[in-house]
């Protein structure tokens, strides 16, 4: 198992208005400078985005280590992908969407651009929040796919990969430091990952003794002993917690991936697994996750996790009467 922190840094933000001042000739320059901002203004935004590259840190985009396969990689690298969305919020209200343009020579860096609509900016007080890749936290509906390329039959918006839908990163309290002449300037913004990524595959050992054999998994249910796995979360911090279900397109013994956000990020805890195989047989078991692997932003590899329980039908003797 490997732990990888997922952080990015955001450089200064420059914004300008697209408003046309029809009465410029009628207002002296000194008075023009004192005019208040419109309450509802559309701003064009360009943000320089960077991320930590040390120790294989990750941003919203994902890539495995060079020359590795998904089954054996020990690194999930961080890169920006063209047109990745970054949602912008002010006081919990969505005010616009920016898109990423990666640098041609270094995909770890990008420019985020687009427009936002605000209802008032106060330098030194106004703080923005940035979230990728969607407007709301939602970890339901996962299918075990890690990268965009892993879901070739579902391109664009219907792509069901973690990279597309479940790898959330958040930058909070991005302070607007200046607003003049239609331009906004902000402090740097640091993005923090909102979940960990688990690589899973399973095998069965009856009651923990004897031979082990691989499980051809089709449907998987994952729950935390403390009940804190997040299914959905709102902007006020409230969340719906419970079991995370993963439905693979095809039953397989190979490792798959799931994004898990746990309310408990500090103490060791058991994860409980229930796995249905290709024939409908259900296996179950637990795996303890040490405290050091609980913080969001961790890559946890659990290949060939051993399950020791299996649901079986008890044999019953019945008398059958044939009627001709």
Stated as kind and residue range, the H or E segment containing 30 is helix 29-33
More confident residue, 259 or 68: 259
Q: How far is Cα 139 from Cα 21, in angstroms, rounded to an integer?
A: 46
More confident residue, 6 or 276: 276
Bridge partner list, 23: none
More confident residue, 246 or 312: 246
With CA atoms as reference, report the closest residue to 127 among 169, 190, 88, 176: 176
pLDDT at 290: 96
Q: How far is Cα 83 from Cα 131, in angstroms, rounded to an integer?
A: 14
184, 121 Cβ separation under 8 angstroms? yes
300, 197 Cβ separation under 8 angstroms? yes
With CA atoms as reference, report the closest residue to 79 among 141, 158, 167, 13: 167
Report the range of poorest mean pLDDT among 10-14, 161-165, 251-255, 278-282.
10-14
Q: How many helices and strands (H and E) does the chain possess?
A: 2, 23
* pLDDT higher than 50, residue 245: yes
Identify whether 133 is preceded by a cis peptide bond (ω within 30 of 0): yes
Give percent of the chain above pLDDT 90: 47
How many Cβ atoms are within 10 Å of 45's Cβ, its own excluded? 21
Report the range of poorest mean pLDDT among 93-97, 186-190, 320-324.
320-324
- What's the average model confidence in pLDDT over 24-41? 44
pLDDT at 217: 98
Q: How confident is the model at residue 287 (pLDDT cuts 50, 70, 90)?
A: very high
pTM of the predicted protein model: 0.80
Q: How far is Cα 241 from Cα 229, in angstroms, rounded to an integer?
A: 5
Range of 117-126, 131-140, 171-180 with top mean pLDDT: 131-140
Q: Is 224 left (phi over 0), alpha (psi -120 to 50) or beta?
A: beta
Q: How far is Cα 265 from Cα 194, in angstroms, rounded to an integer?
A: 11
* pLDDT higher than 60, residue 188: yes
Q: Is 252 left (phi over 0), alpha (psi -120 to 50) or beta?
A: beta
pLDDT at 66: 65
Report the range of poorest mean pLDDT among 122-131, 181-190, 256-265, 266-275.
181-190
Give percent of the chain above pLDDT 70: 77
Q: How confident is the model at residue 62 (pLDDT cuts 50, 70, 90)?
A: low
More confident residue, 257 or 42: 257
* pLDDT higher than 60, residue 153: yes
Non-local (6+) Cβ contacts of 115 within 8 A are 42, 43, 44, 45, 96
**DSSP 8-state class, residue 263:** S
Stated as kind and residue range, the H or E segment containing 163 is helix 162-165
Q: How far is Cα 266 from Cα 294, in angstroms, rounded to an integer?
A: 6
How many Cβ atoms are within 10 Å of 33's Cβ, its own excluded? 10
């Amino acid at each position: 198992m490997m732990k990888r922190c997922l952080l990015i840094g955001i450089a200064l933000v420059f914004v300008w208005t697209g408003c046309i001042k029809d009465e410029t000739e009628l207002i002296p320059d000194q008075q023009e400078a004192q005019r208040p901002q419109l309450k509802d203004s559309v701003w064009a935004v360009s943000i320089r985005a960077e991320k930590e590259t040390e120790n294989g840190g990750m941003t919203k985009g994902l890539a495995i280590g060079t020359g590795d396969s998904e089954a054996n990689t020990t690194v999930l690298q961080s890169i920006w992908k063209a047109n990745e969305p970054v949602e912008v919020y002010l006081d919990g209200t969505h005010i616009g969407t920016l898109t990423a343009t990666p640098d041609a020579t270094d995909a770890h860096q990008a420019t985020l651009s687009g427009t936002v609509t605000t209802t008032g900016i106060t330098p030194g007080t106004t703080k923005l929040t940035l979230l990728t890749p969607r407007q709301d936290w939602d970890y339901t509906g996962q299918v075990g796919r890690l990268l965009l390329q892993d879901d070739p039959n579902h391109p664009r918006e219907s792509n069901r990969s973690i990279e597309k839908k479940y790898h959330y990163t958040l930058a909070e309290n991005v302070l607007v430091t200046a607003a003049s002449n239609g331009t906004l300037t902000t402090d740097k913004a640091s993005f923090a990952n909102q979940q960990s990524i688990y690589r899973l595959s399973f095998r069965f050992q009856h009651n923990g003794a004897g031979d082990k054999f691989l499980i051809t998994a089709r449907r998987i249910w994952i729950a935390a002993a403390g009940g804190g796995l997040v299914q959905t979360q709102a902007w006020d911090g409230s969340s719906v917690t419970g079991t995370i279900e993963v439905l693979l397109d095809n039953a397989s013994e190979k490792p798959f991936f799931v994004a898990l956000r746990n309310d408990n990020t500090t103490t060791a805890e058991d994860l409980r697994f229930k796995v249905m195989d290709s024939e409908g047989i259900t296996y179950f078991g637990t795996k303890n996750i040490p405290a050091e692997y609980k913080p969001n932003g961790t890559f946890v590899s659990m290949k060939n996790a051993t399950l020791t329980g299996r649901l079986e039908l008890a044999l019953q003797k019945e008398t059958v009467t044939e009627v001709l």
